[in-house]
Structure 1
Amino acid sequence: MGEYSAPILTVNNLNKHFGSGCDRCSNAEDRKLDKNYCPACHTVYSCQNIKFDLYPGEVLGIVGESGSGKSTLMQCLYFDQEVSSGEAYLQPYKEGGSNLFDESSQQKRYIRNHLMGKVYQNPVQGLRMRFSSIGNIAEKMIAAGNRNVGAMESRASELLNRVHIPVYRMKEAPKNFSGGMQQRVQIAKALSNNPPILLLDEVTTGLDLSVQANVLDLIKHLQKELKISMLLVSHDLGVIRMMADRTMVMLDGRVVEHGLTDQILEDPQHRYTQQLVHSLL
């Protein structure tokens, strides 16, 4: 990561709430919430004024407990959810001059298919379980406008080979695969159109420890080789320590601390981060 390089992704004041809000919680300056929840009108403020930059070739870790807003943030960035307000600028898209959240649904589809890949915590969300593995990858390539069947098949085979899916299983459906193999097919699918950014949401949750280590090794290897920028969400500081250059800590929908991963692990400032780090020791 060059010290002076411009961010590939800039996010400013991203807000996402579920519910209509009321006098007690609508004013951001003076919100009276129970954690991120308004007891009066039951609105949940999942993301509150999230700001960050992601640099080319960088892995930015996002850590926090369940309900801290990290998965909602990823859903907003991949347009699985509409934001309530906020801005995001992507350098490879209109030279970073256009707020992604204001774009038409057609343009959002273009961004999703060409400039981002996402690996979901639950492979059922990222894969068609009854399609072949090659078919899953071809689907994302077709969505990006590819029509050459031969080229798609060879690209899919190349990617599945890279994520260590044996050749004889490439035409098999992911429903027959183990959890770790399903995640590897998802990674191959997410990479199919060479996106500059990969979003990884709790990708090792629910996998056995040895399988987790294999999946993380694979991601690390691909990241170095492809120099791809990654946003990596986890509730596990061990994963963050192994993978992330910088880390953002989220609690109740807010970023409570961010900095270099080593710095945060060695000298956590926020009480919540201190608890997280001590639980890791």
Structure 2
Amino acid sequence: MDDFDRPILSVNHLSKQFGPGCIHCSSGQSDSLIKNYCPTCGTVYACHDISFDLYPGEVFGIVGESGSGKSTLMQCLYFDQEVTEGEALITSYKNGEANIFEESSQQKRYIRNHQMGKVYQNPMLGLRMGFSSIGNIAEKLIAAGGRNVGAMEARGRELLEHVNIPIRRMKEPPKNFSGGMQQRVQIAKALSNNPPILLLDEVTTGLDLSVQANVLDLIKKLQRELNISMIIVSHDLGVIRMLADRTMVMLDGKVIEYGLTDQILEDPQHRYTQQLVHSLL
């Protein structure tokens, strides 16, 4: 099989629930649920039976309203949350034969440092605001085993230039920067070890429109130049339309539609997706 025909990441039957479940809601599909919430025991089925593939060089979009489960899914993939069940396989990790969710905490750290980068909606989750910008990048490099100070500084400079942060400001902490600049430092940090997969969670939310456009242009440019595989989560179908090759639509913790982005925009099948597309027009 050609490497480009083989997914770089396969996610199969991923589920995440908050709460123990009960006889009324144990399947996560019961009629007794209010959206994805069980009023009897208080369990929330944040993600239910999610499966998808990500291919080399692809931008995969996940769209849905707040509470749809898309950010929880990203947290599970980056080990910020433990899954309830399911598997994820990365081709470049143990030849795609190991379920990363069942690996040891040490191996999960390795995967976070070498196989994936993540850019959070809130830069405070992805950056140390009191460290210098180049220090944030060095932290990621050190976590991956970097020890050569000169090489790390050179890599930090290269990345900050790449994301349009002036080198004269590389010793400044991100707390001095605007929201858009903080996101660009996050992107530089996430890319520091050349991960094959980049996770982007609502990276333009809360930014001014002109700043949003700059960040999205940067993401497109980096994807073209590095041919990196990306998963980008947004509640904004306009962002997904601009970036994603294929798109998955989530509602109440479930996948309700999945296909080529153009296809979903031109011929949405689910009523919720139709409303999303209509709101974009």
TM-score by length of 2: 0.98
CA distance in 1, matches of 2:32, 2:230: 34
Give 1:91-240 correspondences, 5 Å limit.
91-240=91-240
Q: For residue 124 of structure 1, give the secondary structure of its aligned residue in structure 2.
A: helix
Shift of 1:31: 5.7
CA distance in 1, matches of 2:66, 2:169: 35
Shift of 1:5: 1.2
Q: For residue 205 of structure 1, give the secondary structure of its aligned residue in structure 2.
A: coil
| Residue-by-residue CA offset, 1:166-187 (whole Å, 9 max, x unaligned) | 0110110000000000000000
8 Å CA contact 2:28–2:36 kept in 1: the answer is no
| Residue-by-residue CA offset, 1:232-280 (whole Å, 9 max, x unaligned) | 0000000000000000000000000000000000000000000000011
CA distance in 2, matches of 1:4, 1:132: 38
Shift of 1:30: 4.2
Q: For residue 249 of structure 1, give the secondary structure of its aligned residue in structure 2.
A: strand
CA distance in 2, matches of 1:35, 1:27: 14
Q: For residue 45 of structure 2, give the secondary structure of its aligned residue in structure 1.
A: strand
Q: For residue 88 of structure 1, give the secondary structure of its aligned residue in structure 2.
A: strand
Uncovered stretches (5+) of structure 1, i.e. residues with no partner: none
CA distance in 2, matches of 1:202, 1:239: 9
Identity of aligned residues (%): 78
2:213 maps to amino acid:
A
CA distance in 2, matches of 1:146, 1:165: 23
| Residue-by-residue CA offset, 1:134-169 (whole Å, 9 max, x unaligned) | 000000000001111000000000000000000110
Shift of 1:28: 4.3
| Residue-by-residue CA offset, 1:205-255 (whole Å, 9 max, x unaligned) | 000000000000000000010000000000000000000000000000000
Instruction: Name the counterpart of 1:263.
Output: 263
Q: For residue 50 of structure 1, give the secondary structure of its aligned residue in structure 2.
A: strand
Q: For residue 5 of structure 2, give the secondary structure of its aligned residue in structure 1.
A: coil
Uncovered stretches (5+) of structure 2, i.e. residues with no partner: none
Shift of 1:3: 9.9
1:175 maps to amino acid:
K
Moved over 6 A (4+): none
Instruction: Name the counterpart of 1:17.
Output: 17
1:276 maps to amino acid:
L
Q: For residue 60 of structure 1, give the secondary structure of its aligned residue in structure 2.
A: strand
CA distance in 1, matches of 2:208, 2:164: 17
| Residue-by-residue CA offset, 1:101-141 (whole Å, 9 max, x unaligned) | 00000000000000100000000000000000000000000
CA distance in 1, matches of 2:197, 2:34: 34
Shift of 1:29: 5.6
CA distance in 2, matches of 1:80, 1:171: 28
2:53 maps to amino acid:
D
8 Å CA contact 2:119–2:187 kept in 1: the answer is yes
Query: Over aligned residue pairs, what C-alpha RMSD do you find?
Result: 1.1
Q: For residue 74 of structure 2, give the secondary structure of its aligned residue in structure 1.
A: helix
Q: Would you say how many aligned residue pairs link Structure 1 and Structure 2?
A: 280
Instruction: Name the counterpart of 1:53.
Output: 53
Q: For residue 225 of structure 1, give the secondary structure of its aligned residue in structure 2.
A: helix
